[in-house]
Structure formats: structure tokens, C-alpha cells
Amino acid sequence: MGTLLARVRGFGVYTTSLGLAVLFLTPMLWTLYGSLHGPTAAKDGAGWGVENYRRMVWYGSGLGTYMLNTAIVAAITVTVTVVLTTLGGYAVVRFAFPGRDLLFLTTLAILMVPHTTLLIPLYILLGWIGLQNSLLGLGLMLAMFQLPFGLFMMRNSFEALPVELQEAALVDGCGPTRALWHVLLRGVRPGIVTVALFSFLASWNEFVAPLILITDDEKFTLPVALFNLQSGSLGSVDYGALLSGVVTAALPCIAVFLMLQRYYVRGFIRGALKG
């Protein structure tokens, strides 16, 4: 009886997983199909071809420029977020100072504020410090939006580590900084990868902030360029080129996720789900 129940349970799990896989893969496969097949995909107006990708590559300042801009913004966002949240999580867990809990809760409270409501004040602030219409300013602003979740993740990741690890490092002559660098970072690596992955995906796919903060075509990120690409001649929508752009934009996200999936799952198990 127990074996039968286990088989039924296993069949249900696999069936549900297969259904979810089909549900999520169907739009992606349809997008890939639409980008390679249709009246605008081939030179003769029918069948298969890469004309949609060719138009997308040479649109505006060029696909390479938009990809590079997006990669620069993502790199700034990931670097700033990982460094600040790692140091912040370490400080919140391992050091006692006045206002520690209040500072942590205040940072988390940013999650309750829609980031679109902050874009205009941030636009003005970036103008004051000379970072308006710049990739650096955009990256720093997106990093600010990722700080609450990143700090929450890293705090729980450090809490999951035994205190004895740091105490042993201090007994061996390490200071707090060396203990973090040589001992503790290895234990919180899954949490760091999780924060980096979320920051990368959020910055790579962000549309509203670059649309408002960036005004020069050569500084556009890929989502903004794709939005401009959708307008064809006489007000029509160039769906073929748009679908090819969606496929191109999704490939780096899929590749990064697959490479870091093991650490990502481990980070949630060890850090994010800790009470």
C-alpha cells in the first residue's frame, strides 16, 4: 500500500512538473518560432529565415551598443548590490550597535514603496550630482532598489552560519574584515549568488527607469531599444523584429540562470527560508 501511494505521489509530482514546464516553455518556443518564420523572416516573404534578426541587429545605434549598455548597467547594479548587502548583512548579524534593528527594518520598508513613485525625485537628484542621462547613475539607482531584498537575503545567510566559525577565525588572529574575507564568504556564497542573480535579472529587464532617465539613443538599454523597434512603417508594428529582439534579450538571462541555478537553489534553502 505504501509503495502504491509513493508511486501515485511521484506520478502526480512528475505530471504537475511537466504541465508547468509546458506552460512556461510554450510562450518562449512560440516567440522563437515567430522570429524565424513568417512573411518578414525570409527574403522571399515566406518560409524560414533570419531577416528579422538582421533588421534588429542594425536598428538604431546597433544591437551591440544596446547590449553593451545593458551589460554595463547590470554589472554596476550587481557589483554595488552584492558589496553593500554583503557588508550590511555581516554588520547586522555579527555586530551590535545602536539602531541596528531600526536600520534593518527601515531598509526593508523600501520594499513597500513602488519604485516608479521615486523616479522623478531620483531624476532630479541625479541631475544635481551630474549623473543624469548616464549609465552609472542608472546602475546606482537600480542597485538602490535591490538593496532591501539583498540585505534580507544576506542577513539570513550570515545567521545560518555557526558563530563558532567567526570565533575560531578571531582566535587564530584574524580581524573582523579578514574573518569575513577568508572564512565567512565561503559559507554565504549561495546567498551572494542569489542576490547577484536577482540583481542581474532585474537590471537587465528594467524598462521604466531607463526610459525616464536615459535620453540619448546611443545610451539606450536593450528593453528601451526594443520598445522603439516595435514601431514599423506607417505606424504598423514590426512583430518579426520585435520577437527576434525578445529572443536575443532572453538568452543571456537563461544562460546566467542555468549556470548559477545550483547556487541559487542552495541560497534559498540555506538563507532565504530561514526563520
Burial 149-176, CB ≥16 within 10 A → b, else e: bbbbbbbbbbbbbeeeebeebeeeebee
CATH at 165? 1.10.3720.10
Q: Does 19 reside within a domain?
A: no
Contacts of residue 92, defined as CB under 8 A and 6 or more positions apart, other chains included, come to 100, 103, 104, 151, 155, 158
Q: Does 18 reside within a domain?
A: no
Q: Does 38 reside within a domain?
A: no
Helix (H) or strand (E) holding 41: none
Predicted pLDDT of residue 131: 87
Q: Does 130 reside within a domain?
A: yes
Residue by residue, pLDDT tens for the chain (275 residues) are: 557 666 767 777 788 888 888 888 888 888 888 888 777 777 766 678 778 888 888 887 888 899 999 999 999 999 999 999 999 888 888 887 787 778 888 888 887 888 788 888 888 888 898 888 899 999 999 998 999 889 888 888 888 888 877 777 777 777 777 888 877 888 888 889 889 999 999 999 999 899 888 988 889 999 998 888 765 555 667 778 888 888 888 888 888 888 877 776 665 555 444 44
Three cell numbers, residue 165: 566559525
Three cell numbers, residue 271: 538563507
* Domain count within the chain: 1
Predicted pLDDT of residue 273: 46
Q: Does 43 reside within a domain?
A: no
Q: Measuring CA to CA, which residue among 123, 135, 160, 161 is closest to residue 80? A: 135
Three cell numbers, residue 67: 547590449
Q: Does 31 reside within a domain?
A: no
Cα 143 from Cα 114, distance rounded (Å) = 15
pTM of the entire structure? Answer: 0.85
193 lies in which domain range? 60-272
Q: Please name the amino acid found at residue 189.
A: R
Q: Please name the amino acid found at residue 2.
A: G
Q: Does 27 reside within a domain?
A: no
Predicted pLDDT of residue 229: 76
Predicted pLDDT of residue 272: 45
Cα 68 from Cα 45, distance rounded (Å) = 32
Predicted pLDDT of residue 199: 93
